[in-house]
Each structure stands twice: as structure tokens, then as C-alpha cells.
Amino acid sequence: MAVLEDGRASEKRSGDDGDDMPIFNAENLQSNMKSIYYSRTFLSIIGGVVAGIWGFTGLMGFIFYFLIMATASLGFVAKAKFSTHKYFDCRNRILMDGFLGGLMSFVLFWTFAYDIVHIF
């Protein structure tokens, strides 16, 4: 099973939730989003190779991809110690960002590995 590698260097505090209105440091927010993007891309590539080697076809492969993405989201939320409002402005961002972008890489590496192992 693919090792959930946390490719993130440091989780930077971008929101300072005082009493009522959170302020966000734009630079840190952007850096956090970037680390999420990198992690997701990396995971989709590794997931694609694993799916190909294991011989998933059709729907099973896509289900596997969504499973990996869900695990990644869970990992991110856990790393943020379940208080995502401190690090991100909107909870949806941590869950949905980079979802579809990773899909193409996943399909590419899935096809590649599947062909190399099973067809040839």
C-alpha cells in the first residue's frame, strides 16, 4: 500500500482567530495551499502506479483514486490538528483543491503501470 508521505515541510499559521474576525496572512495561506497541491499530486502519481500494478480496471481504479484522495484529505485535516480554520480560510479548500488536477496524472501512471505489468 502506498505510504502516506507527508511531503510538507512546515504548516504555517495563517489565521489568527482572535475573538470575532479572523485575519489571514496571504503568504502563509498560499504556502499551505501549495503544500496541499504538491502532496496531492505526489499521491496521485504513486496511487496510479499502485493501481496499475495491482491490476485495477475500470470503475475499481477510479474508486481507488477517490479513496486515496479521501485519505489525503483526512491526513491534511489531522495534520492541522482538526482546526482548519486556523490554517485555511475555507474548509472546502482543504478537501477539494487539486482533486481533478491529480486525476489526469493518476490516469497516466495507472495506464503506464497497468500496461507494463499486465499487457506486455
Find the radius of gyration of the CA atoms of the chain: 16
* Cα–Cα distance for residue pair 120/115, rounded to 1 Å: 6
Out of 11, 12, 38, 80, the only residue in the binding site for other proteins (CB under 8 A) is 38
- Binding of other proteins by 110 (CB under 8 A): yes
Indicate the residue among 19 and 82 with the shorter CB distance to other proteins. 19
Distance CA 7, CA 18 (A): 30
Q: Which of residues 57-76 bind other proteins (CB under 8 A)?
A: 57-59, 61-62
For the record, the C-alpha cell of 19 comes out as 475573538
99 binds other proteins (CB under 8 A): no
Q: Of the candidates 8, 11, 42, 50, which one interacts with other proteins according to CB under 8 A?
A: 42
* Phi (first) and psi of residue 16, to 5 degrees: -115, 95
**Which residues of the shown chain bind other proteins in the complex (CB under 8 A)?**
19-21, 34, 37-38, 41-42, 44-45, 51-52, 56-59, 61-62, 101-102, 104-112, 114-116, 119-120
